[in-house]
Amino acid sequence: MTYSSTRCRNVFLAVLTGFVTLMLPYVADTKPATFLENFYITWSDSHIKQLDDGMAIQLLLDENSGCGFGSKSKYLFGRVSMKIKLIPGDSAGTVTAFYMNSDTDAIRDELDFEFLGNRTGQPYSVQTNVYANGKGDREQRINLWFDPAADFHTYSILWNHQHVVFYVDEVPIRVYKNNEDKGIAYPKMQPMGVYSTLWEADDWATRGGIEKIDWNKAPFYAYYKDFDIEGCTVPGPTTCSSNPSNWWEGATYQHLDSVAARRYRWVRVNHMVYDYCTDKNRNPITPPECMAGI
């Protein structure tokens, strides 16, 4: 082997080793947990079924009830992720939600994924929302670029002191930045639990409530697996501050890199179908966080 080819190989191995080392804090911590390790059933336990020895679950919605589950602990900053397979076929009027919530009604903080059911052949929409210090009404909606009922896809929320990022299969679909220096509330004081529900909302979920749920298609099923929560458990150690030793507070996670930023723009340009920032009927005056950059 020539000196030049050996050098190229060594450079490649050094780059690869550096990349793997960079990813290790994340990879080492992403061991799928069983459902009961981290969660409990919040309502209608007869409508939640454990599968694969607790590594996956099935949620059921029928005319009698929907169902839901929540985490046993609350967290202050971190990353939560689940793989979800949504309701196939005609799911109009249904909502499958995956969210974080402080469970403090008056001044709650909340980070929402809401998957809005569709009529067969229409795209599946996902709505995100951010509540900070009791203020919400920050809905954005995109149409997913794949069939989320055909297979499992990964939905994640990254939450640190700089921003909240919603991901679909590691593609960022929404960024809510910390603009406290501009007087805009940011969720950072209240720990939040992780929740999910499957329920009927045909008064608004599909085309603004035009498409109603067809109970002849019931029961409706959604499936979850690979429950992953990495964050500061509260109450717990006093390490939930902006500490680089918590990987989600590290420099890599304080902003979108060039690849993620490009994917984010692609989603916003090609798949966004609603943005509260540009809804002049609801917001004649543009909300301040929209002008500050979200």
**Which residues are the active-site residues?**
110, 114
As a whole number of angstroms, the distance between CA 113 and CA 91 comes to 17
Element (H, E) at 267: helix 258-270
2: left (phi over 0), alpha (psi -120 to 50) or beta: beta
| CA distances in angstroms from 123 to 32, 63, 64, 268, listed in the order given | 29, 24, 27, 16
Strands 74-85 vs 272-275: parallel, antiparallel or unpaired: unpaired
- Nearest alpha carbon to residue 91 among 213, 261, 199, 226: 213
Question: Phi and psi (nearest 5°) for 45?
Answer: -65, -20
Inter-residue contact 76 to 193 (CB < 8 Å): no
